Chains A and B, each alone.
Chain A
Amino acid sequence: MKKLPLYIILILISAVMLYPLLWLVGASFKTNSEIFSSVWFMPDSFSFEAYRNGWQTVTPFTMGHYFLNTFKIIVPKMIFAVLSSVTVAYGFARFDFPLKKFFFALLIGSMLMPQIVTILPAYSMWQNFAGFNFLDTYIPLTVPALFACEGMFVFILVQFFKGVPKEFDEAAKIDGCGTVKTLIFVLAPCIRPAIISISVFTFLWTMNDFLTPLIFIQSVEKYPLSLALRLSVDSTGQGYEQNKIIAMSVIGLIPSITVFALAQKKFVNGITAGGLSG
């Protein structure tokens, strides 16, 4: 019973954190006027019409199609991000080389560049990349991940590598492992939790990313979910069914919440194993 006050505090904070989500779910059953005039989450009546219509969308495709598109971007992006960030972090954490400090400063520097500035030069670059036009493909959305473009991931991974004793490398070497084998068979398993963490971050951020696909993807059939969700939002026109848009965004949040809930134990332990503290 000593823990009861603790639970009460946790539940109270959770209520504050979760209420908007609860309201969002409730609002998907409300009418337009109900949505904007009541802070209480319970709708007057329940009807799944908004979900049915929302899932159908006005396009020739259902939301399932857009989910699939999103995963076509997320899966390669996650793999690319992990492969490249781990390799680069390994280089920074375990080896000494010319201009190391300079390159590490560049890594931090790459985090400072706001995306709104880089996106238009990137557009013209992908439009004529070595003679090919990659617009309206998923290449501009996924391939940059192959080059450790997320400085923060490398930054975090470097800290983790530092937490793994150097004796591990030496033992591996005695067993006849080369540089690459040491990474794959000895070090990578040690930082597996961190790898899960960056995968989850990649997942959550890509789910929410609106601007990048907006600029690069033209065809509606290739839209990821984040674009499809805003298809109906038109503040300049005659109006829209707010509940349908909300229903769609509720469906759109499910993968992110599920992934976080499933990964949270590993995710949290993940960052733990490294040498972030001390």
Chain B
Amino acid sequence: MNLKNKRLYNNPVGVSRFTGLLLITPFIIGFVIFTLYPFISSFINGLAAADGSFSLENYTRLFQDSSVRKAAGVTIRYAAVLVPLKLIVSLLTALLLNLEIKGIGIFRTAFYIPSILGANLSVVIMWQYLFTADGLVNQFLELIGLSPVSWYGEAGTALSIIILLRLWEFGSTMVIFLAALRDIPKDYYDAASIDGCGRIRSFFKITLPLLKNVIFVNLILQTISALQEFNAPYMITGGNPMKETYTIGMLIYEEMFTYWNYGYANAVSWVMFTAIALIVLFMYAVTRKLREDSQ
């Protein structure tokens, strides 16, 4: 063993500092083969120009490409609206489903079903019935005296249909919240109610602080998946109108498989990967203090 080792490893007596390393070996091997290799290979492929030569052309081009810039804007707007809304909706639903009443299991399953459906054909058709010109939503708006909205066709509103779809599929986020809620000991609330706290106050005083970590987990997971979104706009709006629902994920997919533009697709996705990593890091840094305060 290296006697000059400066760092002390906080392991139980008799456990080598390599035991942990040995345990995570599957991950390291898997990382090298299934993440690092494709990652590097994607960067190298991103260097390949249309004529087969290697240059940074794809990487420089994408920063000037107006369609990449537009898609990036759409994606960020999409994530910025969807993620907070989804966290709020799934947390509220989780509170509801956390109640100990008869048959709650059936409701939990029912609430999860949209997530199982994903972008199934029925969902696509259903969204059409809801948001087309004389769809149910517009009929409802007219009923309460509002003027109908051009959901699919208007540049400003089309993205909201996609957001609503993903909002409706809050299942997995909700499940994680639900689990965390069920972990909070009941006596915390009992004590609070003796102190005269109402339901709403005890939510802010007890529930929310205890959920800090899990909110963070969901925030990260949802941000990542929102920034990579491609399936929902692909199925529901096709990126229309005027590319207002055309996300970066969709752009990469189309460059790769529709336009046979493999090099460029890789270049864009490599930059996207880096951007998402930076965003996640930023979120991690910003929320750090907040998360550690309660511990």
Q: What residues of chain A have their CB less than 8 Å away from a CB belonging to chain B?
A: 3, 6-7, 9-10, 13-14, 16-21, 23-24, 27, 35-36, 39, 84, 87-88, 90-92, 94-98, 100, 103, 106-114, 116-118, 120-122, 125, 144, 146-149, 152, 154-156, 159, 169-170, 173, 179, 201, 204, 208, 245-246, 249, 253, 256-257, 260-261, 264-265, 267-278
Q: Closest residue to A86 on the B side, CB-wise?
A: B23
Say which residue of B125, B213, B294 sits within 8 Å of A276 (CB atoms).
B213
How would residues 50 to 67 of chain B score, 1 for a CB under 8 Å from any chain A CB and 0 otherwise?
000000000000000000
Q: How far is the CA of A154 from the CA of B31 in the complex (A)?
A: 13
Is B179 part of the contact surface with A, judged by Cβ < 8 Å? yes
Cβ distance B109 to chain A, nearest Cβ, rounded Å: 5
Whether A21 pairs with B11 at a CB distance below 8 angstroms is no
Whether B108 pairs with A268 at a CB distance below 8 angstroms is yes
Whether A272 pairs with B96 at a CB distance below 8 angstroms is no
Give the interface SS of chain B, mostly helix, strand, loop or mixed.
helix
Is B35 part of the contact surface with A, judged by Cβ < 8 Å? yes
Q: Contacts of A257 on B, CB cut-off 8 Å?
A: 109, 113, 116
Is B90 part of the contact surface with A, judged by Cβ < 8 Å? no
29 A-B pairs in the complex with CB atoms less than 8 angstroms apart: A7-B101, A10-B96, A13-B93, A39-B136, A84-B30, A87-B23, A91-B24, A92-B20, A95-B19, A96-B9, A97-B17, A97-B19, A97-B20, A100-B20, A107-B31, A113-B35, A114-B273, A118-B39, A147-B31, A149-B30, A155-B217, A156-B176, A159-B217, A256-B116, A268-B108, A272-B180, A277-B183, A277-B213, A278-B183
Whether B99 pairs with A6 at a CB distance below 8 angstroms is yes
Would A98 and B21 be within 8 Å (CB), given that A264-B108, A271-B180 are in contact?
yes
Q: Contacts of B109 on A, CB cut-off 8 Å?
A: 257, 260-261, 264
Is B120 part of the contact surface with A, judged by Cβ < 8 Å? yes
Q: Contacts of B27 on A, CB cut-off 8 Å?
A: 84, 88, 91, 103, 107, 147-148, 154
Whether B101 pairs with A121 at a CB distance below 8 angstroms is no
Q: Contacts of B37 on A, CB cut-off 8 Å?
A: 121, 125
Interface size, chain B (Cβ < 8 Å): 89
Q: What residues of chain B have their CB less than 8 Å away from a CB belonging to chain A?
A: 7, 9-12, 15, 17-24, 26-31, 33-35, 37-39, 41-42, 45, 93, 96, 99, 101, 105, 107-114, 116-118, 120-123, 125-126, 129, 136, 168, 172, 175-176, 178-184, 210-211, 213-214, 217, 220-221, 224, 228, 230, 249, 252-253, 256, 262, 265-266, 269-270, 272-273, 276-277, 280, 294
Q: Closest residue to A3 on the B side, CB-wise?
A: B101
Q: Contacts of B269 on A, CB cut-off 8 Å?
A: 114, 116-117
Q: How far is the CA of A98 from the CA of B280 in the complex (A)?
A: 24
Would A96 and B126 be within 8 Å (CB), given that A91-B24, A147-B33 are in contact?
no
Q: Contacts of A16 on B, CB cut-off 8 Å?
A: 168
Whether A276 pairs with B34 at a CB distance below 8 angstroms is no
Q: Contacts of A9 on B, CB cut-off 8 Å?
A: 96
Q: How far is the CA of A152 from the CA of B294 in the complex (A)?
A: 24
Cβ-closest 3 pairs across A and B: A147-B30, A95-B20, A271-B179
Whether A17 pairs with B12 at a CB distance below 8 angstroms is no
Whether A117 pairs with B136 at a CB distance below 8 angstroms is no
Whether A274 pairs with B183 at a CB distance below 8 angstroms is yes
Q: Closest residue to B279 on the A side, CB-wise?
A: A112
